[in-house]
Structure 1
Amino acid sequence: MRVFLIAGEASGDRLGAALMAGLHTLAGSVEFDGIGGPLMQAEGLTSLFPMDELSVMGIAEVLPRYRHLLKRMHQTAKAALASRADVMVTIDSPDFCLRVAREVKAAGGLRCVHYVAPSVWAWRPGRAAKMARAIDQVLALLPFEPPFMEAAGMRCDFVGHPVVAEPVASPHEVAQVRARHRVGDRPLLLALPGSRRGEVSRLTPAFGEVVARMTRARPELQVVVPAAGPVAGLVRDMTAQWRHPPVILDPNGIDPAAALAEKRAAFGAADVALAASGTVSLELAASGTPMVIAYDMNWISWQIMSRMALIDTVTLVNLVTDTRAVPEFLGPDFKPEAIAPALLALLDDAGAQHAAMALTMELLGRGQAEPGLRAARAVLEGLSG
């Protein structure tokens, strides 16, 4: 069996590697071609070119490299067709991957599978119909996504979210991180202002005001900020202006596995978290950490997004469980005077949210076969069906 894979960023590399391991388990001898990062290469892929070339986001970043990316798209499509693979699996990165899939589909009969369904349930539902012109099968991370893809004419298999396969901190690790940062039995707030410079710059001052309001009510409160490597310096500089400077977890300069373990332990140790919108809500849910989601953007972006949105919540815990257990303060509602009381209320009683987080993990596949194995089984069933 031969499989051509394309991943364009670190999250896709993780999904691809788990899928490749699952294919080895279920199909035995499998040969791989395509584009991937270090994890996929460790599973036997020789990347056509460095995956990092595709890891660009935003119009300002893409435009100077557009011609080069277009050349890489044509090169990748030709390589996929030349590989005579049984199936091509494109992983997330839709701007690149779906263009390649369209070119491949136009040239021949190669079966195309896309891993990670686009969020057509949230905005731009017409994307599903356009996608169906090139994609035969979709592997979905969320349990409510298959009907949207199937309605557009594609086979869609829910294969579980990778968060359910990630380790969580043990009680011993939680106790260690509390002792290391001298938290003791004091309440611990986790502040997560994002991983991109723009959102960190925009959110951190208001997060600081939230912390100030909370510490007036709970003077014993300890605050920890796990910073993403590229913005750790910025986080340190901006939180230094807070009335109560937090403990910064900076992953730079230390072993990546140790940094990840420290972050995981902090998630497990926190009594409550204030987080920017995004998949971090699922990481917190996996650790059983109650949360409030708060996010702001410029006025024009908010007006556009709020008018295009098909949903009334952006938090995956709320969407997966069809509840509104996680409070959100978005756009015009991003106000410290409203956010702080919501966090203080969770410190006193988070029972409803704990139940929603546990249900989220169950619905995303915790306790079932690992997502990589389920994804591999779905790909094989699609080929045989």
Structure 2
Amino acid sequence: MKIMLVAAEASGDALGAGLAGALRARQPNVALVGVGGPKMAAEGIDSPFDIAELSIMGWLEGLRAYGRVKARVADTVALAVRERPEAVVLIDSWGFTIRVAKAIRAVLPDVKLIKYVGPQVWASRPGRAKTLAAAVDHLLALYAFDAPWFEREGLATTVVGSQALHVDMSGADPVAFRKARGIAPDAPLLLVLPGSRPTEIRLMTPVYEAAVARLKAENPALAVVVVAAGTVAEDVTARVAAWPFRAHVVGEGDKYAAMKAATVALATSGTVSTELALAGAPMVIGYRFGPVSYAIMKPFFTGKYATLFNHAADEEIARELIQSDATPGKVAAEVGRLLADPEARAAQAARQTAALDRMGREGRDPSEIAAEAVLGVVAARRPSPDPA
């Protein structure tokens, strides 16, 4: 049995690595090939190119990278043609993986195509559900509220749950984290998570720097910690080093301890919001697109909220400051409100936890469910043994 996994971003690389391990646990002789990053490489999946160059956000940025994306789609399809897998699992990264799906279908029509993480059609561009249903054979959805959108279009869907809801933070020690950095146990600590894409860092770090400068002016005792995601660590470290106030920069290895140690978090919208909620950290969410990209995309936004647990609860538990609202003044005001009000922090953290319960926090490990679904699709494809 040979299965191909395709991931184009850091979050997809983590999902792919978890799926690879779960597949091998159930089918030790499975051969795994594909496209991915360092975590999938650690599972023995050697990528034909560096996926960091595919970390793209926004319409304008996508247009600028079109030639590069097209070339990498061709490389991915060539790998599929050479390896002839029984199934291809396309992980997240809608723009890249939908192109790969269509291209593989054209040259290898008998290969089963499985999408792992559907587009967030509840938030924008609901027509993508129909597009996906025409392109792949099966969807592995993260949340129960995803499934109806795709099942209405005839796409078989398995709800596997989100890996972000099953992060093990038991080894994260907030007391040791503070002590190692000389931060007093009772000192207010603001954790800043600027994102994992180069565009996010470019657009959001100036906003966060200016907002935190205001907060530090109001409270010089405020400790500041910035998480530098692996894909953008060098850029983030260099930018924070130029800030006119002290900020501790930590890598992803210290991320969960930092989340538990935080009094309040300021985060760029993404999966990290779910992780912060798991850690019990009240937060403010920010996001900016490039102005041209936002003008193009704005008419397609149909959902009320960008943050998953806000959507699950159908209320703005964590304040969202998007585009024109993501200003230093508004960010500083919202973060400052939480820093000044322990009761508001506790109430928000409790509501965040309740929303995670609605999203399936107590369910089985998503990688295990995803592996079972993938193997089920492959088994259905294979001819039944001849009873003779």
TM-score normalized by structure 1? 0.85
Aligned equivalents of 1:201, 1:20: Cα separation in 2: 33
* Per-residue CA distance 1:274-319 (angstroms, 9 max, x = gap): 2222222122112111001123345444333332210122112201
Please show how residues 198-213 of structure 1 align to structure 2 within 5 Å: 198-213=199-214
Match of 2:94 in 1: 94
Aligned equivalents of 2:115, 2:304: Cα separation in 1: 27
Task: Please tell me whether the aligned partners of residues 200 and 235 of structure 1 are also in contact (alpha carbons under 8 angstroms).
Answer: no
Aligned equivalents of 2:217, 2:276: Cα separation in 1: 25
Q: 1:65 aligned to 2:68?
A: yes
Deviation at 1:174, TM superposition (A): 0.7
Q: 1:314 aligned to 2:286?
A: no
Which of 350, 353, 356 is the matching residue for 1:355? 350
- What percent identity do the matched residue pairs reach? 35
Q: 1:231 aligned to 2:226?
A: no
Match of 1:371 in 2: 366
Match of 2:49 in 1: 50
Aligned equivalents of 1:20, 1:196: Cα separation in 2: 24
CA gap 1:374/1:238 in 2 versus in 1, 3 angstroms: same
Between 1:214-223 and 1:325-334, the stretch displaced more is: 214-223
* Per-residue CA distance 1:207-228 (angstroms, 9 max, x = gap): 2343344345544322222233
Match of 2:2 in 1: 2
Deviation at 1:179, TM superposition (A): 1.3
Deviation at 1:60, TM superposition (A): 6.1
Aligned equivalents of 2:303, 2:91: Cα separation in 1: 25
The AA in structure 1 aligned to 2:9 is: E
CA gap 1:231/1:169 in 2 versus in 1, 3 angstroms: farther
Deviation at 1:323, TM superposition (A): 2.2
Specify every segment of 5 or more residues in structure 1 that has no aligned partner in the other structure, as ranges.
251-258
Match of 1:178 in 2: 178
Aligned equivalents of 1:27, 1:196: Cα separation in 2: 34
Aligned equivalents of 1:70, 1:335: Cα separation in 2: 37
Specify every segment of 5 or more residues in structure 2 that has no aligned partner in the other structure, as ranges.
381-388
Between 1:136-145 and 1:340-349, the stretch displaced more is: 340-349
Deviation at 1:152, TM superposition (A): 1.6
CA gap 1:383/1:247 in 2 versus in 1, 3 angstroms: same
* Per-residue CA distance 1:304-337 (angstroms, 9 max, x = gap): 3332210122112201222211111222222333
Deviation at 1:56, TM superposition (A): 4.9
Task: Say which SS state the counterpart of residue 239 (structure 1) adopts.
Answer: coil
Task: Please tell me whether the aligned partners of residues 139 and 158 of structure 1 are also in contact (alpha carbons under 8 angstroms).
Answer: yes
Between 1:215-224 and 1:369-378, the stretch displaced more is: 215-224
Deviation at 1:46, TM superposition (A): 5.0
Between 1:302-311 and 1:62-71, the stretch displaced more is: 62-71
Deviation at 1:341, TM superposition (A): 3.3
Task: Please tell me whether the aligned partners of residues 76 and 100 of structure 2 are also in contact (alpha carbons under 8 angstroms).
Answer: yes
The AA in structure 1 aligned to 2:276 is: L
Aligned equivalents of 2:375, 2:236: Cα separation in 1: 42
Task: Please tell me whether the aligned partners of residues 267 and 285 of structure 2 are also in contact (alpha carbons under 8 angstroms).
Answer: yes
Task: Please tell me whether the aligned partners of residues 169 and 268 of structure 1 are also in contact (alpha carbons under 8 angstroms).
Answer: no
Match of 2:386 in 1: none
CA gap 1:94/1:371 in 2 versus in 1, 3 angstroms: same
The AA in structure 1 aligned to 2:51 is: D
Please show how residues 121-132 of structure 1 align to structure 2 within 5 Å: 121-132=122-133
Task: Say which SS state the counterpart of residue 319 (structure 1) adopts.
Answer: helix
Deviation at 1:169, TM superposition (A): 5.7
Task: Please tell me whether the aligned partners of residues 76 and 100 of structure 1 are also in contact (alpha carbons under 8 angstroms).
Answer: no
Q: Give the total of aligned pairs.
A: 368
Aligned equivalents of 1:189, 1:79: Cα separation in 2: 50
Task: Please tell me whether the aligned partners of residues 276 and 295 of structure 1 are also in contact (alpha carbons under 8 angstroms).
Answer: yes
Match of 2:140 in 1: 139
Between 1:182-191 and 1:356-365, the stretch displaced more is: 356-365
Task: Please tell me whether the aligned partners of residues 183 and 222 of structure 1 are also in contact (alpha carbons under 8 angstroms).
Answer: yes
Aligned equivalents of 1:208, 1:303: Cα separation in 2: 25
Match of 1:31 in 2: 31
Deviation at 1:239, TM superposition (A): 1.8
Aligned equivalents of 1:67, 1:310: Cα separation in 2: 29
Match of 2:254 in 1: 262
Task: Say which SS state the counterpart of residue 123 (structure 1) adopts.
Answer: coil
The AA in structure 2 aligned to 1:280 is: V
Deviation at 1:66, TM superposition (A): 5.3
Which of 75, 78, 82 is the matching residue for 1:75? 78
Task: Please tell me whether the aligned partners of residues 123 and 305 of structure 2 are also in contact (alpha carbons under 8 angstroms).
Answer: no
Deviation at 1:178, TM superposition (A): 1.0
The AA in structure 2 aligned to 1:138 is: L
CA gap 1:196/1:260 in 2 versus in 1, 3 angstroms: closer
The AA in structure 2 aligned to 1:72 is: D
Match of 1:288 in 2: 280
Deviation at 1:153, TM superposition (A): 1.3
Deviation at 1:170, TM superposition (A): 4.5
Task: Say which SS state the counterpart of residue 132 (structure 1) adopts.
Answer: helix
CA gap 1:103/1:295 in 2 versus in 1, 3 angstroms: closer
Aligned equivalents of 2:131, 2:103: Cα separation in 1: 13
